[in-house]
Structure 1
Amino acid sequence: MVKRYYLLLLFCFVSVFSIAQEDTDLEKFTKNNITKPNILSTHSFGVFFNRLQGHFENKAPSKNYINFSIESGNIWSPPVNVYIPKNEADRAVVRGYNWDQAHRAFDESTIDKDSFNLANDGVVKGFKAAVNIRLAEKHELQIGVRTYLLTKGKTPFSIFTNDTFIEDFHDHIAGGNDPFDRRVFGLNKANITYNDRAGNSLNIDAGDFFATGIETSYYYYPDFIKNKTIGINFGGHLGANLSKSNSSLDFGLSANAIKTIGINDRNNLNLGLSVGSLRKGLVNFKSDNVMFGTNSFIGFLETALEYSFISKKGTIHTFGTDFYFQTSLNKKDELEYIIPIRDEKAFNSWGQGVTNLYKNNNYWTFIYSFGKKTTTYFYVQQDLTVNNNPDIQTGFGFKFNL
């Protein structure tokens, strides 16, 4: 179902983008960018490196501006041990079992193997600030910082993302009684533990700040498209990861496009498309960095649709939807022969925290913003295919010129 929605949105974008007519009605309300907060999920692995997202701007900004955001995402997966057979003969045997029955193939105490284990619980708060600087007519520089805080998700600081709210939603609306075993392990707790296959470990408790980094992006706006309602920019991205678990540099490239449709003198429609790839750990500053996935390259594709209108008093209101797709953190073929070991307390959806590492992530974000000189925005994010972590995420932020 989600794939169909995504393909429909992509088709609409391509169809509108192909229109080569130029809008000459200067009286129409025109908004040539998409108001989009940071929509990257608070994934317990993804927060440790510099992920990429769309930059839907028609041209370099006329004024420098600052963007500040706070996000809140509920993460959960019960403790799981995972064994990876080293011998191809053993792997061939495991391939004959479903992943949740693979433990029946061997005695894990004797098999020649690598291993890792993980558990996620809590509400991750993300704090991000970025300044966008106009370098020249076609050149823009963005410098940002990020850091995260693990909390127990107590009300009122996490109204929609705490365990109690989510399980009440499951009980009364959709999902049934405790479909992910949160109540079995206890609600509103917080801890992230991970031991990678190289023996490096990560342990985060409630109240800990973690995954700090500096993110730098350079955007170039070519002028080979003469239609003023179509904008394209290319990005180069360098991220410095500064946490004790991952001290490294990431490098990525992206391409972003936006199509603006002036409906009338007060209404506007924008469509955005972005694609890119990131090289994780291009430079490692220490040898014992925690391994957050076996794929060195992470690709993404993002589409956005935004409707906006301007009130009689000059306030711009926008309603947007954004679909984000990211390739898997672990190499997919390994899923065929891993041996996950269920925690004795868990019985519902106990392996998702592991199996999701081998799946492409995707999620929808719904955004509302309003403002004149200062823009305020809110969003809610949901993973409709249940192949991502967190379960639900919300955020708000401000954007203002310097």
Structure 2
Amino acid sequence: MKHQKLVFVFFLCLSLSLFAQSDQDSIPAYTKNGISKPSILSTNPFGVFISRLNHNFKLKASQRLELDISLESGNVWGPNVKTYIPNDPSVRADMSALAWFSRQYRVEEDQIDAGYFEIETDGVIKGLRGNLTIPTTKNQELIVGFRAFLLTNGKFPLSSLTSDRLIEFFHDNVAGGDDPFDRRVFGLDKAKFLYTDRNGRSFDLGNGDFLTAGIETHYYYYPTFLNDKKVYLNFGAHLGTNLSSYNMSMDVGLSAAGVKQFDLNDRNFILFGLGTNVLRKNAVDLQDDNFDFGTNDFIGSLETDIEYTFLSKGKTYHSFGISFYLQTSLHKKDEDDYNIYVRDDDAFNSWGHGTRHLYKNNNYWTFVYTFTRKISTSFYIQQDFTVNNNPDLQTGVSVKFGI
């Protein structure tokens, strides 16, 4: 575990060094290519353990080596919930007739004939990603990347925007009301990730614990038959290798995306992107005791982006984008109709979200600002308005440049 943390810190220091050196003349100029969007995949507590696919909204294949590195920070929260999946069809029928929050009062826990899993999440998940883009042919490219995640308590100043205290300040003074998710009941600025899957495997992680890592390979093809209409397409094939002790496996996927460009004048334009993909989770298991991070074998997602860009007199591109990301549920939805959810005795507000929303489609909004000149630098802020297991608030920064 210690050497994994050292690897994470090494890449963190490397990325910060690149930020500091971004103005050096030794770095070739980077050319804006399509929608300037870094990886905006959420630090979903279950999602970080699999190879979810970031949508690609480039106009064409890169013509030289490019490197991009991103840092992300997402505040996750869900009080302890025990979940029982009844085996008896008659019990399932009885539970289906009851409101989900009242089922726990109609049974005795120690007498239920049922499957079982348990979840509790609290903290700020820090993510580090890197990708190297390698041109292959005129219209094709290969991307090789890594990802790594760490659980932290999110204390100031390392998590200024994603700390518990800032989020609860927002709830108190802007929207949400007094402690709408019981964060203060359990204490602010803590870190805990407890999970027992339905096969009885469990872990209990805390502040500073390494969560997961992975290696990703993406191959993209960019057809040109619609380019004269300023419509740009790409198709991708994807292979992700998950390297954590909790899930050592390989995921495979396919993707398709398109971008339409609308020129307002020679210095202002709008790009509209639409992408979709599908991932076969755990297509190949590399060990026998992988944790169950969702009963759905296939995960699909859809993303729409719109970006406005203007070119300043200093020949710098300033881009403002907004995206909506939608993903299918990690668990098969039928179980939610009859599952028996048992809350922590101290939890009262929104206590079931952390478990029940594993059965709901996943979605969030992201606002991105990018300026591109010698390098492309992006900043984003992300919000999960439907409270479906994504971070309550996530931020990220990314740099991309030619080599």
- State whether TM-score is above 0.5: yes
Alpha-carbon distance in 2 for matches of 1:204, 1:252: 30
Note if 1:267 corresponds to 2:264: no
Give 1:221 shift.
Answer: 1.3
In the TM superposition, residue 302 of structure 1 has moved relative to its aligned partner by 0.3
The amino acid that maps onto 2:45 is: S
Q: Could you say which residue in structure 1 is the equivalent of 2:325?
A: 324
Within a 5 Å distance, the mapping from 1:168-317 to structure 2 comes to 168-227=169-228, 229-317=230-318
Q: Name 2:26's counterpart in structure 1.
A: none
Query: CA–CA distance in 2 between the matches of 1:388 and 1:79?
Result: 13
Q: List gaps (5 residues or longer) in structure 2.
A: 1-30
Contact 2:86 2:338 in 1 (8 A): yes
Distance 1:398 1:135 in 2: 22
Whether the 8 Å contact between 2:281 and 2:299 is mirrored in structure 1 is yes
Aligned residue for 1:232, secondary structure, equals strand
For the Cα contact (< 8 Å) 1:273–1:302, is it kept in 2?
Answer: yes
Per-residue CA deviation, residues 309-355 of structure 1 (Å, 9 max, x unaligned), is: 11111111100001100000000111001001010111111111001
CA contact (8 A) 1:74 1:392 kept: yes
C-alpha contact 1:32 1:260 (8 A) present in aligned 2: no
> Where does residue 381 of structure 1 map in the other structure?
382
Alignment check: 8 A CA contact 2:76 2:389 kept: no
Structure 1 residue 32, shift from structure 2 partner? 4.8
Measured in 2, the distance between the counterparts of 1:334 and 1:128 equals 34
1:157 and 2:158 are equivalent in the alignment: yes
For 2:179 and 2:211, how far apart are their aligned partners in 1? 29
What is the Cα deviation at residue 228 of structure 1? Answer: 5.0
Deviations 1:371-390 (A, max 9, x none): 21211110000012222321
> TM-score, normalized by length of structure 1?
0.91
Cα 1:130/1:31, change in 2 over 3 Å: closer
Contact 1:53 1:302 in 2 (8 A): no
Task: Confirm or deny: 8 A CA contact 2:32 2:376 kept in the other structure.
Answer: no
**Superposition deviation, residue 151 in structure 1:** 0.8
Query: Structure 2-normalised TM-score?
Result: 0.91
Q: What corresponds to 2:62 in structure 1?
A: 61
Distance in 2, matches of 1:56 and 1:184, equals 43
C-alpha contact (below 8 Å) 2:240/2:251 kept by paired residues: yes
Give me the whole-angstrom Cα distance separating, in 2, the residues matched to 1:276 and 1:77: 28
Q: How does 1:40-79 map to 2 (within 5 A)?
A: 40-79=41-80
Determine if the alignment matches structure 1 residue 103 to structure 2 residue 86.
Answer: no
Q: Which residue in the other structure is 1:94 paired with?
A: 95
**1:243-275, Cα deviation, whole Å (9 max, x unpaired):** 000000000000010111121111111010001
Counterpart contact for 2:122–2:190, Cα < 8 Å: yes
Find the aligned partners of 1:108 and 1:152 in 2 and give their Cα distance: 32
CA contact (8 A) 1:53 1:300 kept: no
Q: Kindly provide the amino acid, as one letter, of the partner of residue 302 in structure 1.
A: E
Alignment partners' CA distance in 1, 2:57 and 2:110: 52
Matched residue, 2:12: none
8 Å contact kept, 2:302–2:325: yes
CA deviation after TM superposition for structure 1 residue 359, in Å:
0.4
- Report the more deviating stretch, 382-391 or 78-87: 382-391
In 2: Cα distance, 1:225 partner to 1:55 partner: 17
Q: Who is 1:25 aligned against? A: none
Structure 1 spans left out of the alignment, 5+ residues: 1-29
Q: Does 1:369 align with 2:370?
A: yes
1:32 and 1:229 in contact (8 A); partners too:
no
**RMSD of equivalent CA atoms:** 1.2
The question of whether the paired residues in 1 share the 8 Å contact of 2:82 and 2:118 is answered with: yes
| 2:334 match: secondary structure | helix
Partner of residue 7, structure 1: none
**SS of corresponding position for 1:92:** helix
Between the aligned partners of 2:152 and 2:231, the Cα distance in structure 1 is 43
SS at match of 1:227: helix
Q: Aligned partner of 1:328: which letter?
A: S
Give distance in 2, aligned partners of 1:215 and 1:245.
Answer: 18
SS in 2 for 1:109: helix
Q: In structure 2, what is the equivalent of residue 334 of structure 1?
A: 335
Amino acid of the structure 2 residue aligned with 1:244: S
Distance in 2 of aligned mates of 1:104 and 1:43 = 30
Per the TM alignment, residue 179 of structure 1 is displaced from its structure 2 partner at its CA by 0.6
Q: Note if contact 2:45-2:389 (Cα within 8 Å) is conserved in structure 1.
A: no
Query: Partners in 1 of 2:200 and 2:230 — Cα distance?
Result: 53
Structure-1 separation of matches of 2:224 and 2:321: 27
Contact 1:67 1:398 in 2 (8 A): yes
The whole-number CA distance in structure 2 between the counterparts of 1:330 and 1:199 is 17
The answer (yes or no) to whether the contact 2:32–2:372 under 8 Å persists in 1 is: no
Q: How many residues align?
A: 373
SS across alignment from 2:302:
strand
Deviating runs (4+, > 6 A) in structure 1? none
Return closer, same or farther for 1:150/1:226 CA change in 2, 3 Å cut-off: closer
Partner of 2:141: 140
- Whole-angstrom distance in 2 between the partners of 1:182 and 1:385: 17
Separation of aligned partners in 2, 1:351 and 1:226: 48
Q: In 2, are the aligned partners of 1:216 and 1:237 still within 8 Å (CA)?
A: yes
Aligned partners of 2:81 and 2:120 also within 8 Å: yes
Preserved CA contact (<8 Å) 1:269 1:307: yes
Alignment of 1:343-358 (within 5 A): 343-358=344-359
Answer whether contact 2:201 2:291 (CA < 8 A) is retained: yes
Mean Cα displacement is larger for which, 386-395 or 37-46?
386-395
Q: Which moved more, 1:188-197 or 1:387-396?
A: 387-396
